[in-house]
Amino acid sequence: TEYYSNKHIKSLVQIILYNNANISGYISFDMYLERRAWMPEELMYFNIISKIISGFFYKFRIERKLKDVSEVDTLTRLLVPAHFKELVLQRIKDDFKGFLMAFDIVKFRLLNEYKGYDFGSSILKEIAEKITSVSQSDLLCRLHDDVFVIYSKFVDENAMQKKYELVKHIVDSIGITNKISISIAQGAVVFTSEEEIDFQALIDRALEAKKFSKDNDINKLVIYDNKLHEQSIIKQNIEAKMGKALKNKEFEVYLQPCYELKTNTISSFEALVRWNSSDGILSPADFIPLFEQNGFIIKMDFYVYEVVCQTLARWKSEGHPLKRISVNVSRRHINDKDFVNKLNSLLKKYDIDKKYFGIEITESLFMENENDVFALVDVLANEGYQIYMDDFGVAYSTLNLLSRVHVDVIKLDRGFIRNDFRSQRETIVIRNIIQMARELGINVLSEGIETKKQALELRDLNCDYAQGYYYQKPMPISEIEKLYFKK
């Protein structure tokens, strides 16, 4: 051809190079001095050379792919944990002081269930792309699932907070664009190159701070510190002991009496729980929130329910008059399709009439899971259980609920009466709540009564029942029996 003529090439042979069955190039052997024919042996050697070089191409492509997979997450193109660790440990030497910020999507599992896993994956990819585009000096890692970690040089806590706000803004905007409601929980840990760095421990601390943020609904960056470290140790200690404690019956059921205000006599009891641990008696505030988080509350609740049933059965067999005992229901039970059946089986086992077994559900739970709670309450009410709405008035927005849900008793939160009715406006509010409840056929029980004055004021306002330290503090069942049966 003209090209070869212009180059004064007399003869040539060309060998095609392949990369996984695709042509990637060729090798050309050119003769400028003379025309010649290529011998079969020469062509054979050229063919061997082609295969060798093509083999190197294939090996290089595979090695590059393996390296890419070992360093970059296939979905988000962010760093994988091992490579992230390697780069962070290199960077901290130059930065001297840095921080790791972990974050995840709140209730991402539900998003996957409702929208599908492909949609969830697309959201993760979009988050990764947008954060990468505005944080090019940072190192970003997808730890697993929807959990991400960012490494950045530490300047000050204000800069850390701005980093949190940036990520939050990105996630919020993605939610708006995709017409979904998503939010994040974040936690961070600060460290320096002078420390003896246990990288996994740093990751764990960032995750612990993130979990604290999520569990306590904190809408800002939580930074791991000594206080959080102490709480983490306490939590680990409790979780290590809780199973054995339940088996050894270290959890003791206490009863607190509720009094009828008109007659000043015991009308019912509330079952509460204390932990007689090796470290002393722990109040519910020390372990209930943790049990709610880790799900152990389900086992402990049913332990309490069984003790209550055993107590009522014993009172019945000993000929004592029965009074209703109410128990608390955790949010963990709300979506348990078998909860009512398990409860029914327990009462049937001890031959307990359901009217003696009260169910307490907090006002906040009604607000958070309205449809699910309404459905559960309807089933429980139809079965014959007495339903209590606990902590009534905390949210200041539940009056409209009372017309739509079956409730037998509302328990006025102690906040209503803590000031001994010093304000006329407060008195008017309480009087009207009681009047409205009475017209709806709902009884009113006021919690936290500490003085005779409070009890008399509530009686004059036609409140039905009262409970608090003025009457009796929560006591072990054996002590309550001495007091109750003596009377």
> pLDDT tens-digit profile of 131-189?
999 988 899 999 999 999 999 999 999 999 999 999 999 999 999 898 888 889 999 99
**Same domain? 154 vs 207:** yes
Other C-beta atoms closer than 10 Å to the C-beta of 358 total 23
Helix (H) or strand (E) holding 121: helix 117-134
Phi, psi of 84, rounded to the nearest 5 degrees: -60, -45
Q: What is the CATH number of the domain that holds 190?
A: 3.30.70.270
Answer yes or no: is pLDDT of 217 > 90.
Answer: no
271: tokens are 């079952």
Q: What is the pLDDT of residue 70?
A: 60
Rounded Cα gap, residues 49 and 211, in angstroms: 59
Q: What is the pLDDT of residue 421?
A: 58
pTM assigned to the model:
0.69
> What is 258-311 written as a DSSP string?
EEETTTTEEEEEEEEEEEEETTEEEPHHHHHHHHHHHSTHHHHHHHHHHHHHHH
CB within 8 Å of 482: residues ≥ 6 apart = none
Q: How many CA atoms lie less than 13 Å away from 177 in the CB half-sphere?
A: 10
**Same domain? 265 vs 333:** yes
Asked, for residue 22, whether it belongs to a domain, the answer is yes
442-459: average pLDDT: 93
39: tokens are 């011998």
**Same domain? 165 vs 110:** yes
Q: What is the pLDDT of residue 420?
A: 63
484: tokens are 């109750």
Domain end call among 12, 40, 71: 71
Q: What is the CATH number of the domain that holds 450?
A: 3.20.20.450
**Same domain? 213 vs 241:** no
Using pLDDT thresholds of 50, 70 and 90, give the confidence band for residue 289: confident
Q: Which domain holds residue 240?
A: 235-486
Higher per-residue confidence, 197 vs 342: 342
Q: What is the pLDDT of residue 3?
A: 65
**Same domain? 143 vs 285:** no
> pLDDT tens-digit profile of 75-114?
998 999 988 999 999 999 999 999 999 999 988 888 888 8
